[in-house]
Amino acid sequence: MTYFLGIDSSTTATKALLLAADGTVIGVASSSYEYETPRPLWSEQSPALWWTAVVDSIRQVVAETAVPPTAIQAIGLTGQMHGLVLLDEAGAVLRPAILWNDQRTGAECNEMRAMIGKARLIAITGNDALPGFTAPKILWVKNHEPEVYGRITHILLPKDYVRLQLTGEYATDKAGAAGTQLFDVRQRDWSDEVVAALGINRAWLPETFEGTAVTGHLSPAAAAVTGLPAGIPVVAGGGDQAANAVGTGAVVDGIVALSLGTSGVVFASSDEPIVEPDGRLHAFCHAVPGKWHLMGVMLSAAGSLRWFRDTLAPGVSYDALLAPAADVPPGSEGLLFLPYLTGERTPYPDPLARGAFVGLTVRHTRAHLTRAVLEGVAFGLRDSFELMKNAGLPAITQVRASGGGVKSALWRQILADVLQAEIVTINTTEGAAYGAAILSAVGTGAFESVETACQQLIRVTGSARPGRDTAVYDQLYPLYRQLYPALKPTFDATQQLG
């Protein structure tokens, strides 16, 4: 048996997954770490944490599975997107990495729009300027830390710092690079126009590769600390959402990946680049060679249910909380929930958006509120589906759901009814790390293509189809859509009042 290693360096932990050639996950090891918030809106992390965790996780998974290191044929990389890693000429880190969830760069986003023009920026990169992206972080360093900016020789994303430690090579994948907002999403390479407009030295940016391309080989130094043999190919991989899509099989038109975790992500693959003209959806390159994707992000998905449980039903299990909600009729007897508890990203990129229950009466019980939360999150996710349809995405035939929220059969059925699509669960739960391992297997010849690998390795294990409640939710969705425009002035006013 041969094996493939997927490494996922996320915001809080690095996971190492060993995948057998038949698709079986042999073992998974994880090493956790923290990130720092030294000032309000800031989020930073030492890159050294990622490398230490990579070494620890690799050694742990090999030891626990007793897989001979010589049987590992390739390594695939994934991890948190958009983070800024700055290196000097010798490859030394110049400052802590500025992470995807850092919000300090509002002024720099406005600066980008002023220099390039919002419409032109969206047309080239597929996205409007957002604080989470890499490009405004570079401008922030230029504006606020000129002594650091003057020493930059290399710019990398977090997982590509791991690649550098593994191989000694400066490289990145096209999916991750598309999330920097320095990328021409249609041409699948750095945008000379954007890079020049922002005054960034093009030589600082690494060469880009398709997700299955071999970008280097395990160096003797890395082999010594990881316990793996030198020379193992390391493929490009992809950002965490693109790799997760590979891990769930969302690699062909019509199949959408829906992640229902703390946040909610709707990810749709496309054979052609599709850009939502107002930038309300993220348009990136896929980790699958020659493909693209659209992505909608909801900030409080299952996080809304967790807030509700912790605040109004502390100590109650999710099963006990949800069971009575199944007996509440669809629409929760006129009760609507707006799930913007932490602001929103799609369809309203508004950090001041807030949550609300609308339509409360004395007839409503906790079960009604519970069901309204489930329905409100489903309506919020439908916003992304509607934007994708209007942008020209091919018809959706199946939604592959993952994340803690889809453990609930009630929630899966509500999603099927609201989204008017089949919601399926699959045999894999490891997401991005699994996808990274698949990309490495394809890149070293174990499968003909990513599509072929996914078809052979990923199986549907459960299904919820649209039912009789679809018509009710179709009537309620336009009412849900009216809530944000109506309440937006109130949200802004209450923020001013503190």
Q: Is the peptide bond before 347 cis (omega within 30 degrees of 0)?
A: yes
Spatial neighbors of 165 by CB under 8 A, at least 6 apart, are 51, 54, 222
Q: What tokens appear for 164 in the block?
A: 């550098």
> Using an 8 Å Cβ cutoff, are 302 and 403 in contact?
yes
Name the β-bridge partners of 425.
462
Spatial neighbors of 129 by CB under 8 A, at least 6 apart, are 108, 109, 110, 112, 113, 118, 121, 135, 136, 181
Q: How far apart (Å, rounded) are the C-alpha atoms in residues 99 and 45?
A: 7
Ramachandran region of residue 283, left (φ > 0), alpha (ψ -120 to 50) or beta?
A: beta
- CB atoms closer than 10 angstroms to residue 303: 19
Q: Exposed/middle/buried for 248, CB within 10 Å: 0-12, 13-18, 19+? A: buried
> What are the catalytic residues?
240
Distances in whole angstroms, Cα of residue 229 to Cα of each of 55, 69, 212, 224, 297: 13, 7, 21, 8, 40
- Tell me which amino acid residue 35 is: Y
Helix (H) or strand (E) holding 293: strand 292-298
Distances in whole angstroms, Cα of residue 116 to Cα of each of 113, 119, 182, 272, 285: 5, 8, 12, 25, 21
Q: What tokens appear for 405 in the block?
A: 């929220």
Count CA within 13 A, CB hemisphere, residue 405.
29
In 3D space, the residue among 99, 371, 406, 414 whose CA is nearest the CA of residue 261 turns out to be 406
